[in-house]
Structure 1
C-alpha cells in the first residue's frame, strides 16, 4: 500500500511513496487563466501543499515528481525562480523582528539568483521594490505567500499592534502591485480582509476563495477518496466485517464512505453551493488510524491539530459567541458582511467562524441577498461545541471526566440526571445565567455536542418536537425539559413534561431496535437550587 502523506512538500511524495490526490488539472487551469490569485481556507486543509506544488512545477518542471498525474504531458511553462514566503515563520509579536525576518529571505533569494547592486533596506516593501528595480529586463519570478494574515490574526485583541502590522503588510503588497517581474503570484490565508491592500479596489489579485471552478482545488471529493484511497477503504471494511480484502464489496465501501461523509464532508467553498469537499487532514487521520490501529474509529482529527486557531480563542477572550445562533443548523448573515469583511477588529462573528472552518457555506452567494452558514459536519460541530464548553463550563469538574463517558449511553435515569446536575453546577452563572427553558436546553446541548454525542435538537415527529434526543447504537434518550422558579411549580411542570412526552410520542420515530429512555425533568432556577430537582422516567 502507498503511504498517507506526512509532508507539505510534493518532492517527498515520490521519495516516500506517498499517495498524491491529483489536483494538477486545477493547478494547470489556475496558472493558465490567472497571473495573481488569492484563496482562503481554514488551517490544515492543504494550502501549503498546493503552493508547494505550484512552486515545484514552475521551478523544476514535471520530471520526475509529476509522472502519472494529469499535468505530466500538458505542462509547457518555462522554468522560473520561485520566492516562497511563509508568514507562519515570522514574528507576530514584534514588528521590527517581523521586518527583519521577512527581509532576510528576500536578500537570500536575490543572492541565489545573482541579483546584485540593489539598495538594501529594512522595510520589506522597499527592499523587494529595490530588488525588482535591478533585475534583468526579461527576468520574471514566481511569488508564493503562505498564511499572509498570520500577524493580523495573532493580534485580534491588540488593535495598536494589529494596525502596525496591517500598515507594514499593506505597504509590502503595494510594492508588488503591477510589477512585470512577477510571472505568477499566489497568496493564501485563513481570512479575507479588505483593510489589507491585497484586496483593495483596483487590486490585480483575483480572490478565488469561493470561485466555483476552483472550489475543489483544496479538500478531497468523494470520488477522489474512492480512487486514491481504495486500499485503505477496503482495509476498513475488512476490519468492520471480519472478511478478507478480496471479499469486500462496493456496498461495504460505500457504507464506510457515507459514514466518513457524516463526520468529515460538506465543506463548501463554492459560490453556487454545488460542490462539497472533505477535510483533507481528517480523512488522512481517519484512514491512517485504520492502518495503524486495525480498527475503524471516527476521531476528531482536525480539532486536535488545527481546529482551535488562536484567532478564535483571542476573539472569545473579549467577546461572547451567540450560543443559540450556533445551535441552529442555518445562520443568515448580510451579504456585505460575508463578501467584504473589512477588519478582524470588527468582523462579523459568524464570518470569522466560517473563515476558521467552524461554519461553512449553506447557500449560494448572490449579491444583495443574505448568505446562509452552518456547521459542515459532525466533526466540526463537535469541535465547535467543545470550544464553547471550554468557555462556558469549568471543565475540570467530574462531569467532564472520563469516568462519566458512558453514563448517558448505559447508565440509569438517576445516574443521567446526576451527571446533568454536575454539568449545570460547572456553569459560570455570572456569565451564563439559566433564566429560562431555552437557555437550559442550549447549555445542555453544548455539553452533549462537545462530547461528540449524536444529539438531535428539537427533533420533529408527526405530533411535535422533543427538546433533546440523543442516539446511541443500542439506546435513545429523550429529554423533555421544564423550567420553574419556585418549589410549588415543580410537580405541575413535571406532569406537563410527562404528558407532553406521552401525547407526542417523543423518540418513537425510526427507533429501530434501540431501547427508548424518555425522561421528564424540571430545573429549578432559584439561585439557591439551580438544579434539576424533579424527574421521572416515562
Structure 2
C-alpha cells in the first residue's frame, strides 16, 4: 500500500518515511529570479510542506543530506547554483495568541525569539562565536523588531546571506478579524497625539532593512489571504505577489495527471468494487476545480483532500465523509473571519447568490484595508483567496470549485436558517425519509417532510419574496443534515440543460442505496396561480427529458433513478409528483 503522510508538513520526515511525494521541484529554478516571493493559497494546499522543502534545499547545513532528501526528484538532477548556500530563517505565526494587544505582542515577541534562538544555534559555526551567549543575555528586553536587528548585525559580520521563510503570515490577524476585533493597532500605534508603527509593522520594517542591506537576500512568504498587505505597504513594500501568476498556477495542488499517477500506484484489487474511472470521476467532482491564474486551463485538486481520500480508499473503500473533519473545522473558522469583515447578513446574501447562479463576477482585490467593512468586491475576493471561489476561464468570472465547497455553502445556509431565522429541522423524520428513499424508492415520507416544513416549520417565515431558489435552499439545507446523498445543484447535462437537484448516493453507502433522484422544483406565486396547470405540464415534460438524458449518459451501476417534480405554492401548499 502507498504510505500517505497525511498532515505531514516536514519534508525531511516525509522523505525519511518514504511517503508518497508528488515532485514539484521543477518550480525551484523558476522561482529563483523572484527574490521576494509572496504566494497565497487556500488552507490544506501544501504550503507548509513547500516551505519545509525550500528550507531543506537552501539550508547550508543540509548540504550533506541533499542527495538523500532529493533522490530521484527533478532538482537532484538539475540543481541550481544556490542550493545549500543560505542561512534559512523560518518563521511560523500560526501560534500567536492574546486576549489584548499587550498579550498579543508578548506572544509575537516570544514566537520570534524561539525561531531566532534556534537559528543562532543551528548556524553558530557560521556566526561570531559568542552570538548565542550575547543574544540570550539581552533577549528578555527585546521586541521582535529588536531581535531581527540583532540577527542582522550578527550575519552582517559574515559573508553569508539569509533566506527568510514565513508561513501563516496572516494567521493571527485573521483571528482578530474573525473575533470582530480592530487589528489596526498591530500596524499603527497612536500615542500622545501622534502616530508610530505598531509592533507588527515595526517588525516588518526591520525585515525590509535587512533586505535593503542585502543580508536578507531572499524571502518566501505565504498565508491564506492578502489581508495585511495594504497595512504593511508603507514599511514592507518589497514583496512580489505571485499568487495569480500563471507560471506558478500548478506549484501547489495536484493536477489531473498527478492524481492519475497516484491512482496508478494503488493495487488493482482495490478497484474491484469501484472502477478506477469512477474513482477519478468522483475525485474530480469532490476535490478538483481550483484555477488560480488567468491564461491557463489546468485546474487543480486540493492536495490534503486527495490524500485523505486515498488513505481511506486503499484501506477500506470510499470514506463516509468526503471531507476530513480537520479540513471542515478549518473552513468553519474561515467562516468566522468572513463574517468578521462583512457581516452575517451580507455573507448570507452572497452565498445565496453564488449557489443559485453558480457564477459571480467581480474585480479581484489584491490588497485589503481594515479601515472599513468589506463591500462586494472585497468579500468575493476574500472568498477566492480562501478557496471558496475560483477563477473560471471567462474574465472577471468566478465559480464554486467543487462539490465539497458547494456542500460547505449549503451547510452555512442551513446554519443561518436554524440560528438566525429560528427554523427547526426534524432530523428524525429526515432520516426516516432518506431510509425509505434510499432502500425502497418510497417517497411518501418525503412529501410529509416537505408539507410539514412549509406548513409548520415556516409558519412565520416571510413568503413575500419567495422563489424557486428559496425552495431549493430549504430542501438542500434540510438534507445537508445527512451524508447519505451527495446533493448536486444545477447538474449540467449535454445540450446545456441543468437538473435543479440531483441526489446521488454517497459511494461509501453503495450497498445500502438503491435509488438516486432527479428533482425539478417549481414555485407558484400569486401572480402565476392561474398558470399553475400549464407550468405543471411543462415541468413534467422537462423532467422526463432530463431523466432520459441522465440515465443514458450518467446512470451509475446497480442504481435505479427516479424523477420527481416538487411544486410549492405561495399558500405554502406543496405537491410531490413521481414522474418516472
Q: TM-score, normalised by structure 1?
A: 0.83
- Is the Cα–Cα contact under 8 Å of residues 478 and 506 in structure 1 kept in the other structure? no
1-structure distance, mates of 2:411, 2:429 = 11
Tell me, yes or no, if structure 1 residue 170 matches structure 2 residue 201. yes
2-structure distance, mates of 1:441, 1:327 = 13
Distance 1:109 1:328, change over 3 A: same
Cross-structure match for 2:117: 108
The C-alpha deviation readout for 1:346-391, integer Å capped at 9, x for no partner, is: 2622222222111111136xxxxx6211111112211221232222
1:140 Cα deviation (Å)?
A: 1.5
1-structure distance, mates of 2:15, 2:215 = 32
Cross-structure match for 1:502: 540
- Is the Cα–Cα contact under 8 Å of residues 232 and 290 in structure 1 kept in the other structure? no
Among 559, 564, 577, the alignment partner of 1:518 is 564
Among 266, 283, 291, the alignment partner of 1:268 is 291
Among 298, 305, 322, the alignment partner of 1:300 is 322
Report SS of the residue matched to 2:45.
Answer: coil
Cross-structure match for 1:416: 446
- Is the Cα–Cα contact under 8 Å of residues 144 and 186 in structure 1 kept in the other structure? yes
Q: Superposed, which structure 2 residues align to 1:286-297 within 5 Å?
A: 286-293=309-316, 295-297=317-319
Cross-structure match for 1:331: 359
Distance 1:267 1:108, change over 3 A: same
The C-alpha deviation readout for 1:453-498, integer Å capped at 9, x for no partner, is: 3434387898987654545674433333224569xx97x5753443
Cross-structure match for 2:191: none
Tell me, yes or no, if structure 1 residue 285 matches structure 2 residue 308. yes
1:411 Cα deviation (Å)?
A: 4.5
Report SS of the residue matched to 2:318.
Answer: coil
Cross-structure match for 1:476: 517
2-structure distance, mates of 1:107, 1:406 = 58
Report SS of the residue matched to 1:4.
Answer: coil
- Shifted more, 516-525 versus 48-57: the winner is 516-525
Tell me, yes or no, if structure 1 residue 316 matches structure 2 residue 339. yes
Report SS of the residue matched to 2:23.
Answer: coil
2-structure distance, mates of 1:2, 1:463 = 40
Among 63, 70, 95, the alignment partner of 1:89 is 95
- Shifted more, 425-434 versus 170-179: the winner is 425-434
1:442 Cα deviation (Å)?
A: 3.9
1:414 Cα deviation (Å)?
A: 2.5
Among 413, 423, 427, the alignment partner of 1:398 is 427
1:523 Cα deviation (Å)?
A: 3.6
Report SS of the residue matched to 2:44.
Answer: coil
1:439 Cα deviation (Å)?
A: 4.6
Q: Superposed, which structure 2 residues align to 1:433-472 within 5 Å?
A: 435-444=465-474, 446-447=476-477, 450=480, 453-457=486-490, 467-471=500-504
Distance 1:493 1:191, change over 3 A: same
2-structure distance, mates of 1:459, 1:479 = 13
Distance 1:99 1:231, change over 3 A: closer
Cross-structure match for 1:245: none
Cross-structure match for 2:414: 389
The C-alpha deviation readout for 1:429-453, integer Å capped at 9, x for no partner, is: 8897673223533423542774553
2-structure distance, mates of 1:228, 1:79 = 33
1-structure distance, mates of 2:75, 2:457 = 56
Cross-structure match for 2:170: 149
1-structure distance, mates of 2:176, 2:223 = 15
1-structure distance, mates of 2:320, 2:75 = 34
1:217 Cα deviation (Å)?
A: 0.9
Cross-structure match for 1:20: 21
Cross-structure match for 1:258: 281
Cα root mean square deviation, aligned: 3.5
Among 243, 246, 249, the alignment partner of 1:212 is 246
Distance 1:173 1:432, change over 3 A: farther
Q: TM-score, normalised by structure 2?
A: 0.77
1-structure distance, mates of 2:460, 2:173 = 32
Report SS of the residue matched to 1:71.
Answer: helix
Number of matched pairs: 511
The C-alpha deviation readout for 1:33-82, integer Å capped at 9, x for no partner, is: 22121111111110000000001111214231111111113324243222
- Is the Cα–Cα contact under 8 Å of residues 11 and 53 in structure 2 kept in the other structure? yes
- Is the Cα–Cα contact under 8 Å of residues 168 and 223 in structure 2 kept in the other structure? yes
Q: Which runs of 5+ in 2 are unaligned?
A: 125-130, 188-197, 506-513
1:2 Cα deviation (Å)?
A: 3.6
Tell me, yes or no, if structure 1 residue 353 matches structure 2 residue 383. yes
Q: Superposed, which structure 2 residues align to 1:59-70 within 5 Å?
A: 59=59, 60-61=62-63, 62-70=66-74
1:205 Cα deviation (Å)?
A: 1.2
- Is the Cα–Cα contact under 8 Å of residues 204 and 236 in structure 2 kept in the other structure? no
Report SS of the residue matched to 1:521.
Answer: strand
